[in-house]
Amino acid sequence: MSEARTTELRRLLNRAAHAYYVLDAPEMEDPVYDRLYRELLELETAHPELITPDSPTQRVGGSPAEGFQSVAHRIGLLSLDNAFSAEELEAWYGRLLKVLDRTGDLAMVGELKIDGNALALSYGQGLLVRAATRGDGEHGEEITANVRTIQSVPLRLQLERPPEWVEVRGEALIPDGVFAGINAEREGRGEALFANPRNACAGTLRQLDPKVVAARRLDFFAYTLHLPDDWQPGPADPPRPRSQWESLQWLQAAGFKVNPNAALLPDLAGVEAFFTTWDTGRRALAYATDGVVVKLNDLRLQDAAGFTQKAPRWAIALKYPAEEAPSRLLRLAYQVGRTGVVTPVAEFEPVPLAGTTVSRATLHNADRLAELDLHAGDTIVVRKAGEIIPEVVRVLPDLRPAGAARLELPHVCPECGSELVREEGEAATRCVNSSCPAILRGALRHWVSKGALDVDGLGAKLIEQLVDRGLLRSIADLYGLDAALLASLDRMGAKSAENLVAALAASKAQPWHRQLYGLGIHHVGEVNAKGLAKAFPSAADLATATANTPESITAVFGIGTEIAQSLQQWFATPANQLLLQALERLGFSLAAETEALATGPETPLTGQTFVLTGSLPSLSRSAAQALIEAAGGKVSGSVSKKTSYLVAGEEAGSKLSKAKSLGVAVLDQAGLLELLKAGAP
User: In whole angstroms, what is the distance from residue 25 CA to residue 228 CA?
Assistant: 32
Q: What is the mean pLDDT of residues 164-190?
A: 87
- Classify strands 645-648 and 430-431 as parallel, antiparallel or unpaired: unpaired
Q: Are residues 96 and 209 in the same domain?
A: yes
Instruction: Look at residue 67 and tell me if it is in a domain.
Output: no
| Residues 6 or more apart whose Cβ sits within 8 Å of residue 4 | none
Q: Is residue 70 part of a domain?
A: no
Q: Which position has the higher pLDDT, 185 or 312?
A: 312
**Together in a domain, 479 and 448:** yes
Do 136 and 123 meet the contact criterion of CB atoms below 8 Å apart? no
- Report strand pairing: 108-114 vs 263-265: antiparallel
3-state secondary structure of 627: helix
Q: How confident is the model at residue 600 (pLDDT cuts 50, 70, 90)?
A: very low
pLDDT score of 413 = 93
Q: What is the reported pLDDT for 595? A: 41
Is the pLDDT confidence value at 107 over 90?
Answer: yes
Query: Residue 20: pLDDT above 70?
Result: no
pLDDT at residue 329 in the model? 96
Q: What 3-state class would DSSP assign to 220?
A: strand
**pLDDT band for position 2 (cuts 50, 70, 90):** confident
297: which residues sit within 8 A by CB, 6+ positions away?
Answer: 106, 107, 108, 109, 243, 244, 245, 264
Say if residue 263 is in the same domain as residue 221. Answer: yes
Task: Verify that 175 and 308 share a domain, yes or no.
Answer: yes
Residue 195 has pLDDT above 70, yes or no: no
Do residue 262 and residue 383 come from a single domain? Answer: no
Closest CA to 409 of 338, 485, 334, 321: 334
Residue 74 lies in a domain: no
Instruction: Write the DSSP string, 486-555.
Output: HHTSTT--HHHHHHHHHHHHHHTTS-HHHHHHHTT-TT--HHHHHHHHHHS-BHHHHHHHHHH-HHHHHT
Instruction: Please report the pLDDT score of residue 283 as a whole number.
Output: 83
Helices (H) and strands (E) in the chain, counts: 25, 22
Q: Region 269-295: what's the mean pLDDT?
A: 92
**Most confidently predicted of 85-89, 373-377, 636-640, 660-664:** 373-377
- H or E element at residue 95: helix 86-100
Among 510, 504, 512, CA closest to 478: 504
Q: Is residue 408 part of a domain?
A: yes
> Has residue 75 been placed in a domain?
no
181 with 297, same domain: the answer is yes
Per the model's pLDDT, the better-predicted residue between 33 and 251 turns out to be 251
For residues 203 and 116, membership in a common domain is answered with: yes
What total of structural domains would you count in the chain?
6
Domain, as residue range, for 654: 601-679
Question: Is the dihedral angle over the CA atoms 524, 526, 531, 536 positive or is it negative?
Answer: positive
Out of 113, 295, 384, 530, the active site residue is 113
Burial class (CB in 10 A: 0-12, 13-18, 19+), 261: middle
pLDDT at 266 over 90: yes
CATH number at residue 355: 2.40.50.140
Backbone angles phi, psi at 121, to 5 degrees: -110, 130
Q: What is the mean pLDDT of residues 247-270?
A: 95
409 plus 441 within the same structural domain = no
pLDDT of residue 228: 93
Ramachandran sector of residue 671 (left: φ over 0; alpha: ψ -120 to 50; beta: rest):
alpha
Higher-scoring residue by pLDDT: 294, 426: 294
Q: Are 438 and 416 in contact (CB under 8 A)?
A: yes
* Arithmetic mean of pLDDT over the chain: 86
Give the residue from 319, 338, 364 where a domain finishes: 319
Q: What pLDDT, in 10s, does the model give residues 385-439?
A: 655 678 898 999 989 999 999 999 999 999 999 899 887 777 889 887 877 899 9
pLDDT digits (tens, 9 = 90+) for 138-158: 888 899 999 999 999 999 999
Does pLDDT of 597 surpass 50? Answer: no
Are 583 and 611 found together in one domain? Answer: no
Whether residue 76 is contained in a domain is answered as no
Claim to verify: residue 157 and residue 279 sit in the same structural domain: yes
Residue 69 lies in a domain: no
State which of 270, 295, 319 marks the end of a domain.
319
Residues 575 and 524 in one domain: yes
Residue 68 lies in a domain: no
Of 461, 464, 494, 458, the closest CA to residue 479 belongs to: 458
Q: Is the confidence at residue 652, as pLDDT, over 60?
A: yes
Backbone region of residue 651 per phi and psi (left: phi > 0; alpha: psi in -120 to 50; beta: other values): left
CA–CA distance, 58 with 164 (Å, rounded to integer): 22
420 and 456 co-located in one domain:
no
DSSP-derived pairing of the beta strands 165-173 and 219-226:
antiparallel
Q: List % helix, strand, coil for the chain (3-state, nearest 5).
A: 40, 20, 40
pLDDT at residue 248 tops 50 = yes
Q: Which residues contact 94 (CB under 8 A, 6 or more apart)?
A: none
Listed ranges 40-54, 171-185, 235-249, 624-638; the one with the highest mean pLDDT: 235-249
Q: What pLDDT score was predicted for residue 679?
A: 57
CATH code for the domain in which residue 485 is found: 1.10.150.20
Q: What is the mean pLDDT of residues 485-495?
A: 88
Spell out the residues 6+ positions from residue 668 whose beta carbon is closer than 8 angstroms to its own: 616, 647, 648, 649
Q: Which of 85, 83, 89, 88 is closest to 268 using CA atoms?
A: 89
Domain CATH number, residue 48: 1.10.287.610
Q: Which of 319, 339, 363 is the last residue of a domain?
A: 319
pLDDT at 584: 92
Q: Which percentage of the chain shows pLDDT scores above 90? A: 43
Q: For residues 80 and 321, which has the higher predicted lDDT (pLDDT)? A: 80
Catalytic status, residue 211: no
Whole-number pLDDT of residue 21: 61
